[in-house]
Amino acid sequence: MKNTRKNSTSSSSSDSDSDDEMRARLLAACVSAEMIKESSKKMSKIKDKIIKVGPYEDIELSPQQYKRVAELLQELSDQTFDFREPKKKTNKRLLEQERIFDECPSLRMISTGALINLVDEPSRKKKRKKITKEQEDEKLAAIASMAVTFDQIKTMV
């Protein structure tokens, strides 16, 4: 019985230590005004560090992401081929190419054959197919075969 009492006294000191640890964990887990202020300060610092990129500055990158993109572009642009414009292009096509190169100066082809182009191509309208006389006659014949006359409706009723 004496042994159990000694253990209980020694365990009470360890219990108080564990109680202190539990209190510390509970206080750390509780949300306080100070913690909210600290987290809002951290968020504002992060927002200040965000770098906006793109033609409309609608892409937000962290400094690490920005560095990674720069590294990738550097890595890919080391193995590039520079092309000059062919001499026989029309003025309109030359102006279009100049506009593309002005908007996207990093337009390059890498050794794997991939072309890095950050500009969307303008959409082209599809040309309407001309209906031939034969196709028109076929459509009219199909309509005539399905059409019902007023006399046929009278006989049905």
20 three-state secondary structure = helix
64 has pLDDT over 80:
yes
pTM of the model: 0.26
Q: What is the mean pLDDT of residues 45-73?
A: 81
- Reported as a pLDDT band with limits 50, 70 and 90, residue 27 is confident
pLDDT confidence of residue 1: 46
**φ, ψ dihedrals at 109, nearest 5°:** -110, 130
> Residue 50: which of 59, 39, 41 has the closest Cα?
59
pLDDT mean across residues, the chain: 74
pLDDT confidence of residue 133: 92
Q: What is the mean pLDDT of residues 27-50?
A: 78
Query: How far is CA 151 from each of CA 52, 141, 154, 155, rounded to the nearest angstrom?
Result: 73, 20, 5, 6
